[in-house]
Amino acid sequence: MNERSHHNTSWNYFLALEGDIERVARYIELNEDNFKTYSIELARLLMASCAEIDVIFKGVSQYINPESTANNITDYTRIIFDHYPELNLTTIISPRYRLNFKPFSCWSKSHAPDWWTANNKIKHKRDTYFHLANLGNCLNAIAALFWLNIQSNHQIHCAYAKSFGGHLAPPELKYTFSNLTPPSTLFQLNEPWLYFRD
Protein backbone atom coordinates (compact mmCIF):
# COMPACT_ATOMS: atom_id res chain seq x y z
CA MET A 1 0.00 0.00 0.00
CA ASN A 2 1.49 3.37 -0.94
CA GLU A 3 1.33 6.47 1.26
CA ARG A 4 -1.44 8.07 -0.77
CA SER A 5 -3.73 5.04 -0.57
CA HIS A 6 -2.98 4.73 3.15
CA HIS A 7 -4.07 8.36 3.59
CA ASN A 8 -7.30 7.69 1.71
CA THR A 9 -7.96 4.66 3.90
CA SER A 10 -7.40 6.70 7.08
CA TRP A 11 -9.66 9.54 5.97
CA ASN A 12 -12.36 7.11 4.80
CA TYR A 13 -12.14 5.33 8.15
CA PHE A 14 -12.64 8.66 9.93
CA LEU A 15 -15.65 9.43 7.70
CA ALA A 16 -17.16 6.03 8.51
CA LEU A 17 -16.84 6.72 12.25
CA GLU A 18 -18.26 10.20 11.75
CA GLY A 19 -21.23 8.68 9.92
CA ASP A 20 -21.75 6.28 12.81
CA ILE A 21 -21.80 9.10 15.36
CA GLU A 22 -24.26 11.03 13.20
CA ARG A 23 -26.57 8.00 13.29
CA VAL A 24 -26.20 7.95 17.08
CA ALA A 25 -27.40 11.57 17.04
CA ARG A 26 -30.83 10.35 15.96
CA TYR A 27 -31.21 8.82 19.42
CA ILE A 28 -28.88 10.87 21.62
CA GLU A 29 -28.72 14.59 20.95
CA LEU A 30 -25.12 15.75 20.54
CA ASN A 31 -25.31 18.17 23.45
CA GLU A 32 -23.18 18.68 26.55
CA ASP A 33 -26.18 17.67 28.68
CA ASN A 34 -25.75 14.16 27.25
CA PHE A 35 -21.96 13.84 27.47
CA LYS A 36 -22.18 11.34 30.35
CA THR A 37 -24.57 9.06 28.43
CA TYR A 38 -22.88 5.71 27.76
CA SER A 39 -23.74 2.64 25.72
CA ILE A 40 -22.34 -0.38 23.90
CA GLU A 41 -22.40 1.52 20.60
CA LEU A 42 -20.46 4.44 22.10
CA ALA A 43 -17.95 1.97 23.54
CA ARG A 44 -17.49 0.48 20.08
CA LEU A 45 -16.99 3.89 18.49
CA LEU A 46 -14.57 5.05 21.19
CA MET A 47 -12.47 1.90 20.89
CA ALA A 48 -12.48 1.99 17.07
CA SER A 49 -11.46 5.67 17.10
CA CYS A 50 -8.62 5.10 19.56
CA ALA A 51 -7.32 2.12 17.58
CA GLU A 52 -7.14 4.31 14.45
CA ILE A 53 -5.59 7.17 16.45
CA ASP A 54 -2.87 4.75 17.58
CA VAL A 55 -2.11 3.92 13.92
CA ILE A 56 -1.92 7.60 12.95
CA PHE A 57 0.15 8.51 16.03
CA LYS A 58 2.74 5.98 14.86
CA GLY A 59 2.74 7.40 11.33
CA VAL A 60 2.96 11.05 12.42
CA SER A 61 5.76 10.16 14.85
CA GLN A 62 7.73 8.54 12.01
CA TYR A 63 7.24 11.55 9.74
CA ILE A 64 8.50 13.84 12.49
CA ASN A 65 11.37 11.49 13.35
CA PRO A 66 12.13 8.80 10.74
CA GLU A 67 14.09 6.85 13.39
CA SER A 68 11.02 6.70 15.64
CA THR A 69 9.97 3.36 17.11
CA ALA A 70 7.17 5.00 19.12
CA ASN A 71 4.39 2.55 19.95
CA ASN A 72 2.67 3.86 23.08
CA ILE A 73 1.20 7.09 24.41
CA THR A 74 4.36 7.97 26.38
CA ASP A 75 6.49 7.72 23.23
CA TYR A 76 3.96 9.66 21.15
CA THR A 77 3.80 12.40 23.78
CA ARG A 78 7.55 13.03 23.64
CA ILE A 79 7.70 13.26 19.86
CA ILE A 80 4.41 14.98 19.07
CA PHE A 81 4.62 17.63 21.80
CA ASP A 82 8.05 18.72 20.59
CA HIS A 83 6.64 19.20 17.08
CA TYR A 84 3.26 20.70 18.06
CA PRO A 85 4.04 22.70 21.23
CA GLU A 86 0.59 24.36 21.26
CA LEU A 87 -1.33 21.13 20.76
CA ASN A 88 -3.19 21.67 24.05
CA LEU A 89 -4.82 24.78 22.57
CA THR A 90 -6.20 23.02 19.49
CA THR A 91 -9.93 23.60 19.16
CA ILE A 92 -12.22 21.57 16.92
CA ILE A 93 -15.69 22.96 16.36
CA SER A 94 -18.98 21.39 15.37
CA PRO A 95 -21.06 24.29 14.02
CA ARG A 96 -24.05 22.05 13.37
CA TYR A 97 -24.35 21.21 17.07
CA ARG A 98 -22.72 24.38 18.42
CA LEU A 99 -20.05 22.39 20.22
CA ASN A 100 -16.36 23.10 20.76
CA PHE A 101 -13.84 20.37 21.53
CA LYS A 102 -10.31 20.61 22.89
CA PRO A 103 -9.40 16.93 22.66
CA PHE A 104 -5.76 17.47 23.70
CA SER A 105 -6.33 20.10 26.41
CA CYS A 106 -5.45 17.86 29.36
CA TRP A 107 -2.66 15.97 27.58
CA SER A 108 0.75 16.48 29.15
CA LYS A 109 3.99 14.54 29.53
CA SER A 110 2.56 12.97 32.68
CA HIS A 111 -1.13 12.66 31.73
CA ALA A 112 -2.72 11.04 28.66
CA PRO A 113 -5.86 12.56 27.13
CA ASP A 114 -8.97 11.63 29.14
CA TRP A 115 -10.59 9.82 26.21
CA TRP A 116 -7.40 7.76 25.70
CA THR A 117 -7.35 6.76 29.38
CA ALA A 118 -11.08 5.95 29.21
CA ASN A 119 -10.50 3.68 26.22
CA ASN A 120 -7.74 1.76 28.03
CA LYS A 121 -9.85 1.35 31.14
CA ILE A 122 -12.82 0.10 29.11
CA LYS A 123 -10.56 -2.27 27.19
CA HIS A 124 -9.04 -3.84 30.31
CA LYS A 125 -11.77 -3.48 32.99
CA ARG A 126 -15.02 -2.99 31.13
CA ASP A 127 -17.26 -4.03 34.03
CA THR A 128 -15.76 -1.37 36.28
CA TYR A 129 -15.32 1.45 33.76
CA PHE A 130 -18.12 0.94 31.25
CA HIS A 131 -19.59 4.34 32.21
CA LEU A 132 -16.52 5.95 30.56
CA ALA A 133 -17.83 4.73 27.19
CA ASN A 134 -19.77 7.95 27.05
CA LEU A 135 -20.70 10.48 24.41
CA GLY A 136 -18.21 13.10 25.64
CA ASN A 137 -15.22 10.77 25.42
CA CYS A 138 -16.39 9.40 22.08
CA LEU A 139 -16.83 12.85 20.48
CA ASN A 140 -13.46 14.06 21.78
CA ALA A 141 -11.72 10.97 20.40
CA ILE A 142 -13.33 11.39 16.97
CA ALA A 143 -12.44 15.12 17.03
CA ALA A 144 -8.83 14.13 17.81
CA LEU A 145 -8.92 11.67 14.91
CA PHE A 146 -10.16 14.46 12.62
CA TRP A 147 -7.20 16.68 13.59
CA LEU A 148 -4.68 13.84 13.31
CA ASN A 149 -5.88 12.96 9.82
CA ILE A 150 -5.26 16.54 8.71
CA GLN A 151 -1.78 16.59 10.24
CA SER A 152 -0.90 13.15 8.86
CA ASN A 153 -1.99 14.19 5.37
CA HIS A 154 -0.01 17.43 5.67
CA GLN A 155 3.11 15.49 6.68
CA ILE A 156 2.70 13.30 3.60
CA HIS A 157 2.40 16.34 1.32
CA CYS A 158 5.41 18.02 2.95
CA ALA A 159 7.51 14.83 2.65
CA TYR A 160 6.56 14.59 -1.03
CA ALA A 161 7.64 18.20 -1.62
CA LYS A 162 10.90 17.58 0.27
CA SER A 163 11.67 14.57 -1.94
CA PHE A 164 12.30 17.04 -4.79
CA GLY A 165 15.39 18.37 -3.00
CA GLY A 166 13.98 21.81 -2.24
CA HIS A 167 12.72 22.44 -5.78
CA LEU A 168 9.09 22.12 -4.70
CA ALA A 169 7.74 24.38 -1.95
CA PRO A 170 5.95 22.60 0.91
CA PRO A 171 2.19 22.98 0.61
CA GLU A 172 0.18 25.31 2.80
CA LEU A 173 -2.19 23.69 5.27
CA LYS A 174 -5.11 25.11 3.27
CA TYR A 175 -4.05 23.05 0.24
CA THR A 176 -3.74 19.92 2.35
CA PHE A 177 -7.10 20.56 3.98
CA SER A 178 -8.89 21.07 0.66
CA ASN A 179 -7.65 17.68 -0.55
CA LEU A 180 -9.46 15.80 2.21
CA THR A 181 -12.56 14.83 0.31
CA PRO A 182 -15.36 14.47 0.89
CA PRO A 183 -15.11 16.97 3.76
CA SER A 184 -16.20 16.26 7.30
CA THR A 185 -19.85 17.09 7.91
CA LEU A 186 -19.49 17.21 11.69
CA PHE A 187 -16.15 18.86 12.49
CA GLN A 188 -14.15 21.91 11.45
CA LEU A 189 -10.85 23.32 12.54
CA ASN A 190 -11.24 26.57 14.43
CA GLU A 191 -9.37 28.31 11.60
CA PRO A 192 -11.94 30.21 9.47
CA TRP A 193 -9.33 31.10 6.81
CA LEU A 194 -9.15 27.42 5.79
CA TYR A 195 -12.75 27.61 4.57
CA PHE A 196 -12.44 30.75 2.44
CA ARG A 197 -12.37 30.18 -1.31
CA ASP A 198 -9.43 31.70 -3.18
Residues 16-74 pLDDT 10s? 999 999 999 999 999 999 999 999 999 999 999 999 999 999 988 988 888 889 988 98
Amino acid 1: pLDDT? 39
Taking each helix axis from N to C terminus, what angle separates 135-162 and 3-24, rounded to the nearest 10 degrees? 160
3-state secondary structure 138-158: HHHHHHHHHHHHHHHHHHHHH
Amino acid 171: pLDDT? 56
DSSP 171: P
Residues 6+ apart with CB under 8 A from 74: none
Amino acid 40: pLDDT? 96
Amino acid 163: pLDDT? 58
Amino acid 52: pLDDT? 96
180 in Cβ contact with 11 (< 8 Å):
yes
One-letter amino acid at 151 equals Q
Ranges of the chain whose pLDDT falls below 50: 1-5, 167, 193, 195-198
Q: Which of 56, 49, 62, 55 is nearest to 16 (CA)?
A: 49
Tell me the CA distances in angstroms from 99 to 126, 143, 145, 168, one per residue in order.
28, 11, 16, 38
Per DSSP, which regions of the chain are E strands? 92-94, 99-101, 188-189
Overall pTM surpassing 0.85 (yes/no): yes
Amino acid 129: pLDDT? 96
